[in-house]
Structure 1
Amino acid sequence: MEVFALVGPLYRRVQRKIELDTARQGLSVGLRAVLDLLREHGPMTVPQMGRAQSISRQFVQRMVNDGAANGLVEAVPNPAHARSSLIRLTDAGRAAIEAAVAREHALLREAAGDLTTADVDTCVRVLGRMLRLFEDVDVNGQAVS
């Protein structure tokens, strides 16, 4: 429970810092999340992105529309499903998300201090185990089968 007591406030503060930083860069948190997902996983459909982030397809679609309007993402044909286009990063979108991630990593490196690689590996192992424990719970509190 001590971990949860720290992770909750930490998550909210980091999320708020990202919101402030991305807003200064002209990105909303939702659009930043879409860009990061595409950076990590390559082209995806809107429904795939919604499932991956446990958020509604409609919200993801709005973020994709914002990204397309700003030249950060584009829709391309999906060879696996003609009715559901793949969304991919444009060069401008890749540059925007890579710059945002670089700024965030630089900021978070300040927190490292005297932490060792073993300290970080242990933390990741503990948090990963906690995440797996609750993998059957949707963000809306609904059980997932």
Structure 2
Amino acid sequence: MPDEMALLVADVYEAAGVLRRSGEAVAAAEGQTQARWQLLSVVSDSPRSVAQAARRLGISRQAAQRVANDLVHAELAAFRPNPDHRSSPLLALTSAGEDVLDRITARAAEAHEAFARGIPPEEVRAARALLHRLVERVRDHEDEGARARNAR
């Protein structure tokens, strides 16, 4: 009997790959990349430092910094003073960035609607709940491993 968890992990990787390609196409239709879209989205609710945005996205600070610099150069975002940390400015959307994000989000909503056609909403909710539990358990496992390494 195959290892069901290994098969689920393989399915998640496959889903991530096809969704990433779809996301790239959605972002490209507005002249953006998925990385730019993700960073615009992360700072859309409130300005964040690049380090905070990187943590939220699960990427390196350096990768987030490169994308942030691109967004600032394109005038889709701007660095603002950080009252809590002078050397770590906050990245905030400009009105042009808000407009681009709104257009990308609308395109993504259309794509999501097409993906979900024929799938009952309760199945989508159940899949999300399972993925949230899985992510939580993986994080707990990582935390336990880190604690064990630090205890040595």
Q: Give the TM-score range, shorter chain.
A: 0.7 to 0.9
**Please, which moves more after superposition, 17-26 or 50-59?**
17-26
Query: Which residue does 1:9 correspond to in 2?
Result: 14
Cα distance between partner residues in 2 of 1:6 and 1:106: 24
Of 61, 64, 72, the residue aligned with 2:65 is 61
1:121 aligns with 2:128: no
Cα distance between partner residues in 1 of 2:129 and 2:111: 23
Query: Which residue does 1:26 correspond to in 2?
Result: 31
Deviations 1:66-121 (A, max 9, x none): 00111110011111112211110111111111211211111111122233332222
**Contact 1:136–1:144, Cα closer than 8 Å, also in 2:** no
Give the alignment of 1:62-81 within 5 angstroms. Answer: 62-81=66-85
**Contact 1:35–1:93, Cα closer than 8 Å, also in 2:** yes
**Contact 2:30–2:103, Cα closer than 8 Å, also in 1:** no
Cα distance between partner residues in 1 of 2:64 and 2:124: 32
Q: Which has the higher helix share?
A: 2
Work out the number of aligned pairs and report it: 140
Cα distance between partner residues in 2 of 1:55 and 1:137: 19
Alignment RMSD: 1.9
Identity of paired residues, percent?
27
Query: Which residue does 1:131 correspond to in 2?
Result: 135
Please list every run of 5 or more consecutive structure 2 residues that lacks an aligned counterpart in the other structure: 148-152
Please list every run of 5 or more consecutive structure 1 residues that lacks an aligned counterpart in the other structure: none
Cα distance between partner residues in 1 of 2:16 and 2:105: 16
**Please, which moves more after superposition, 5-14 or 68-77?**
5-14
Change (3 A) 1:17 1:111: closer
1:5 Cα deviation from its structure 2 partner: 3.3
Cα distance between partner residues in 1 of 2:46 and 2:53: 11
1:137 Cα deviation from its structure 2 partner: 6.6
Query: Which residue does 1:91 correspond to in 2?
Result: 95
Change (3 A) 1:144 1:15: farther
**Contact 1:76–1:88, Cα closer than 8 Å, also in 2:** yes
Query: Which residue does 1:47 correspond to in 2?
Result: 51
Query: Which residue does 1:36 correspond to in 2?
Result: 41
The structure whose Rg is larger is 2
Change (3 A) 1:83 1:12: same
